[in-house]
Amino acid sequence: MSEQVQALILGIIQGLTEFLPVSSSGHLELAKVILGDTHTGEASLLMTVVLHFATAMSTVVVFRKEIAALTRGLVRFRWNKETRFVAYILLSMIPASFVGVFYKDAIESLFSGNLLLVGSALIVTGLLLFLADRAKHTDKSVGWLSALVIGIAQAIAITPGISRSGATISTSVLLGIDRERAARFSFLMVVPLIFGAIAKDIKDGAFTDTQVSVPALVIGFASAFLVGIWACKWMIALVKQSKLSYFAVYCLLVGAIALVYQFTHTNVQLAH
């Protein structure tokens, strides 16, 4: 299979799974193993970062009106609901930013097709979604403490297999936050984080020498962006209807399959 076709498939997977609570990074790692992707380390992480950038742009398109309102609030230099919301987003970014800056090498090592890690993390995601779907009294707004706790959940979700949207939305709902507000905050909070991470990597020249071709990156970006716009709108509707349990079952099944595959593959290698 050509690199461009692989990039197209990975982009579609990223576009769907970034917004659906099933772990985009986990599915990308599973897909890389299935597709026989030989890129490792920095090259593998580059494709992952580009695909995440594409879905961040999808978020900007879907929430363009909300982002415009937040921007106007900042320009006016007044403390109102818009600037307060931006402050909550900035606070939520701190945990993931800390992990990304100080543990970059450790994070990079996780993106190497480790199915044992991915499978286990998917099962954790499934259990978390089950809990969130049964939460009651979800009528609160995001506050200072909840923004920080949701940010910690986002930092943990850097692990492949832990769904970022699943972890942040579930954490929000378990904290009593209104489901639609939880989805809105979850999708918007990651945008500046991804933009900041990419800007830092470009500034540091982190991706100047990789094995991934430019056409493959462009194809992956385009497919992730277009599919992401559709998936983002769909996910908002699903969260409002309390249908996270369907994704919980899916995560548990895929996690279990990944673990069985890993153990079977390991035993076959040992036998030889």
pLDDT tens digits, one per residue of 134-151: 887 778 889 999 999 999
Task: Tell me what pLDDT residue 267 has.
Answer: 60
* Averaged pLDDT, 143-165: 90
- Separation between Cα atoms, residue 270 and residue 113, nearest integer Å: 18
Residue 62: pLDDT band by 50, 70, 90 thresholds? very high
Q: Pseudo-torsion of CA 121, 125, 126, 128, nearest 10°? A: 140
In three-state secondary structure terms, 69 is helix
pLDDT tens track for 178-202: 888 888 899 888 888 778 877 776 7
Q: How many CA atoms are closer than 13 Å to the CA of 128, on its beta-carbon side?
A: 28
Backbone angles phi, psi at 157, to 5 degrees: -70, 0
**185 contacts: CB under 8 Å, gap ≥ 6:** 88, 89, 92, 142, 147, 150, 168, 172, 177
List residues bridging with 177 in a β-sheet.
140
Structure-token match 């579930």, residue found: 170
Task: Tell me what pLDDT residue 263 has.
Answer: 80
Task: Tell me what pLDDT residue 204 has.
Answer: 67
Structural contact between residues 223 and 8, judged by C-beta atoms closer than 8 angstroms: yes
Structure-token match 């992730």, residue found: 224
pTM strictly above 0.75: yes
Task: Tell me what pLDDT residue 158 has.
Answer: 84
* Residue 96 confidence (pLDDT) above 60: yes
Structure-token match 């996690």, residue found: 255
Q: Find, among 36, 43, 205, 208, the residue nearest to 111 by Cα.
A: 43
Q: What angle do CA 166, 59, 24 make, to 5 degrees?
A: 40
Q: Pseudo-torsion of CA 45, 48, 52, 55, nearest 10°? A: 170
Return the CA Rg of the chain: 18
Structural contact between residues 182 and 143, judged by C-beta atoms closer than 8 angstroms: no
Which tokens is 263 given?
């153990």
Task: Tell me what pLDDT residue 33 has.
Answer: 74
- Separation between Cα atoms, residue 121 and residue 58, nearest integer Å: 26
Residue 108: pLDDT band by 50, 70, 90 thresholds? low
**20 contacts: CB under 8 Å, gap ≥ 6:** 165, 231, 234, 235, 247
Residue 272: pLDDT band by 50, 70, 90 thresholds? low
